[in-house]
Structure 1
């Protein structure tokens, strides 16, 4: 190890990627603001229990844990910001009606999500509290698509699922058996799934439904097939109806929509509609979302909740990076420079910066080529009684 290396699955962001990340963060937060989503900024570190209690147990294995030297209590670096936003809604804001919140910031994972994933995603998201209807799910999913399109990501595909189908089919199961089944379905491990179900005493329709779920992926035909393959129970019928409504809303946005009823995640987290956004060139989802009613119960008040989060760094890797705009070098004037030149230079530099130009103040004693290396492509020169911007001579 050398002092200039960073831990595995962490990375420095350099120009112009860092500039693109910050620009995209501002652009998206501004877009969320005009849709009524209010910005909140939770702390990077919280007490461990606040991040892993209840629904947060899904995050426990990804959580960096340390002991707070001030209190001796276990604290953690947030692996996800959604539990923090749920705490803010439930305990700090305590509003009775619909609340729309947004956020942006880094999170840290003790283990990478996959072999290529970074352990420090930059997470930006939006959450909607207080409305249990599918209209809220449609709003956040469509808003996600608009953000990705505005950033330049085309041909995004949303894969949708519904946790209520799994919950209905495993009603009455022990938690251990339900978690085992959950893992097998996520992995689409059909052989082990068949062996596991062979050891369970189940109604024939439930067994058949669970064996079909790993095959339940594709287009709208999946929902039509689900009507035949899944038990005709009220909660499953409601899930189909919600997925149909979501698909129609997304189609109206011009999105490609798919279904994968075994693409489950967040065993302790999600309660209803779930969706994942995939973009060409990315093996993993660039954004995840869905309903997580009740997460606020751990903080004193359960509320209907739905939302999404985007990994900014994953998105930026898929976008073409434009070079940074060339800066203008403002010369360092000697002590004998006329007062008129000095005053005019200050005014000209202020006007250029107000117009959005990058102006770099020259510091004496450095070779001219070093300013070109610093990004200067133009310079200010005094000609005909005024300061003019001309190409920079390396």
Structure 2
């Protein structure tokens, strides 16, 4: 017989208790108000879908993250959403009427099949915004600016932004003539900045020395945006095709615009390739110095709508709202608490309680009123009984 407590929760799943729930709701409200002021409309994707619909157009990483169950009605396999971004893209392409541009936002719990290995939650409260139909740098700047404002209203006012562009790495892959398997192998090593592994791998592929140097250089090309892009222009000179050069130009344009808008350091990292299998251009992430890790990320994924019948530019970001709870020091005080005796058929008491609640008081009706607490007490003038607030 197992001695394990029957009340233990699965790894990565936790409860939200009253004080934390109050903070979550406060931050949630602020963020949704911010999205609305920017013109982003709220949508609520379903928690579960048929697996072949939920994962269409996504990469292997999301498949491994998705918790799968069998539908008791149809017998088909269902997936519990692990990321709402593909669902929102489908809503834009399939469920909503065609418009030139569309701005959508979302908030809700997602479920991951496994932890990140660092004790992270398997049930993050994902918040995000997506902009469809705009392919210019102005859209990149808008979404990154909205991401930083959402973090600020959530309490994270100090952050570092990290920008990258998958187009630079893809240009070097094309120049080297790598097949898909070698591309994935190299991408994985670059993401981990495993320089010895990269050198050993490239040494066995018989590539031109200039290309080897350029690929290895991607690990070094990270830091303040101006110096990093200037160095990239020199070290990658002559090795990038038109698309690769355009990627560097786009990075410079966006970084310069963001640098004037954000109160924080703007960095560039050319080995930043998160979401590589579906990202198509700029990628970005925000880091909190206080937490010492990434707290929001996003990028362009222009091709994701194609599988839903509407291929067009798209970009967005997402974050876990609960990551911000430690950042939010602006604790809004709860309304003053008043106690009232729990009684039946006392219309005067019911009116007094309703009146106080209408004025913003928290009124708790109970038979156990704490000593010294603010409370409603009965006052009898010999003809009528009224209730008055005392001890406030």
Residue 360 (structure 2) aligns with: 356
Closer/same/farther in 2, CA of residues 206 and 16 from structure 1, 3 Å limit = same
Distance 1:390 1:5 in 2: 44
Counterpart-to-counterpart distance in 2, 1:52 and 1:241: 33
Q: Aligned to 1:118, what secondary structure does the other structure show? A: coil
> Is the aligned partner of 1:3 residue 2:12?
no
Alignment partners' CA distance in 2, 1:245 and 1:63: 36
Q: CA deviation at 1:321?
A: 7.7
Cα deviation per residue 1:37-87 (whole Å; 9 max; x = unaligned)?
011001111121223232343311111111111111111111100000011
CA–CA separation in structure 2 for the residues paired with 1:84 and 1:154: 30
Shift of 1:139: 0.4
Of 102, 114, 129, the residue aligned with 1:111 is 114
Structure 2 residue 381 is matched with structure 1 residue 390 = no
Contact 1:327 1:360 in 2 (8 A): yes
Instruction: Check whether the contact 1:16–1:321 (CA below 8 A) recurs between aligned residues.
Output: no
RMSD (CA atoms)? 2.2
Matched, 1:256 2:265: yes
TM-score between the two structures when normalised by the length of structure 2: 0.90
Looking at structure 1, the residues matched to 373 and 305 of structure 2 have their Cα atoms a distance apart, in angstroms, of: 53
1:162 to 162, 165, 171: 165
**Number of aligned residues:** 378
Change in CA separation of 1:388 and 1:287 when aligned onto 2, cut-off 3 Å? farther
Paired residue for 2:337? 327
Quick check: 1:179–1:267 contact (8 Å CA) kept in 2?
A: no
* Residues 239, 272 of structure 1: 8 Å contact kept: yes
Give 5+ residue unaligned stretches, structure 2: none
Identify the range of structure 1 (322-331 vs 230-239) with the bigger mean alpha-carbon deviation: 322-331
Write the distance in 2 (CA, Å) between the matches of 1:314 and 1:68: 32
Task: Indicate conservation of the 8 Å contact 1:21/1:312, yes or no.
Answer: yes
Contact 2:340 2:369 in 1 (8 A): no
5 Å-filtered alignment, 1:172-183, equals: 172-183=177-188
| 5+ residue gaps, structure 1 | none
Question: Match for residue 292 of structure 1?
Answer: 301
Provide the TM-score with structure 1 as the length reference.
Answer: 0.90
Which residue does 1:243 correspond to in 2? 251
Shift of 1:192: 0.5
Q: Deviations over 1:225-256 (max 9, x none)?
A: 11111234322222122212222232222232
CA distance in 1, matches of 2:71, 2:14: 26
